[in-house]
Amino acid sequence: MNSALVSAAELAGLLDGPTPPVLLDVRWQLSVAKAGGEPPFDGRAEYERGHLPGAVFVDLDGELAAPPGEGGRHPLPDLAVFGAAMRRAGVSAGRPVVAYDGGIGWGAARAWWLLRWAGHGDVRVLDGGLPAWRGPLEEGPEVPHAAGDFLPEPGAMPVVDARGAAELAEAADGLLLDARAGERYRGEVEPVDPVGGHIPGAVSAPTSLNVGPDGLFRSPAELAERYQALGAGREGVRVGVYCGSGVSAAQEVLALEVVGVRAALYPGSWSEWVTDPARPVAKG
């Protein structure tokens, strides 16, 4: 595969081909307390209401992340847990994988990034997620698949820790992008983490601007123009991305990958940064 994205029409063709991809349903939403006691988002329930034929549900919180703690709200998962989840879903080293979610690409990009980081070279995200799919859907719980053989071997995608993120933000040849909404970057609101603001020197780059009004990623030309204006893509510039907990930032890394910019992910992101009161916080 030569792109991080696949269109719904292209995916339909691949599913009818000789080596159909493994489909991962990674529907997920940021958990924020809602007024009126509205129940939190339940990705598995949404999956059972309707999913792509043959897709397997992957639990982002339980299988694509370790338990929250000093490493943030979504630390990198235990490799044994992640590997077992991928094999359960049928993921094998020699078979392509397509991940999808409810639309904006956060959950699917998390799965894409983790698989790429762990050594799988043939992974894509369904552009537009489930809303873009025009084919049939299946309902009900997943049907057990033949187990895959994927064994994670991390290191194929760049990663930075808190110190590395700060260095990128300060260096003349570095660029640290903050993928959260602008109001969270500025510290005007913070619905999840105990402290608002951003890493000093980071540049605001909300993931919402990677997607057009049709719910699809903007064209490579539009994405390239956006990131060049932010300073990414210039020769010799090292790029890193963070968000609240390393989930939406993966969507930004994916968008940068589309335009040929390899960016490092700060997995702990803001939720890890603020666990140490000695780390500086900028606002505005």
Q: Are 161 and 266 in contact (CB under 8 A)?
A: yes
Q: Are 32 and 44 in contact (CB under 8 A)?
A: no
Pairing assessment for the beta strands 56-57 and 238-242 based on DSSP bridges: unpaired
Q: Which of 86, 168, 243, 250 is catalytic?
A: 243
Ranges of H-type helices in the chain: 8-15, 43-49, 60-63, 79-88, 106-117, 162-170, 182-186, 220-230, 248-258, 269-273
- Catalytic (active site) residue 243: yes
- Residue 279 has, within 13 A of its CA and on its CB side, a CA count of 22
Kindly state the tokens that stand for 264.
Answer: 């490092």
Within a 10 A sphere around the Cβ of 7, how many other Cβ atoms? 16
Q: What is the residue type of 55?
A: A
Residues annotated catalytic, as ranges: 243
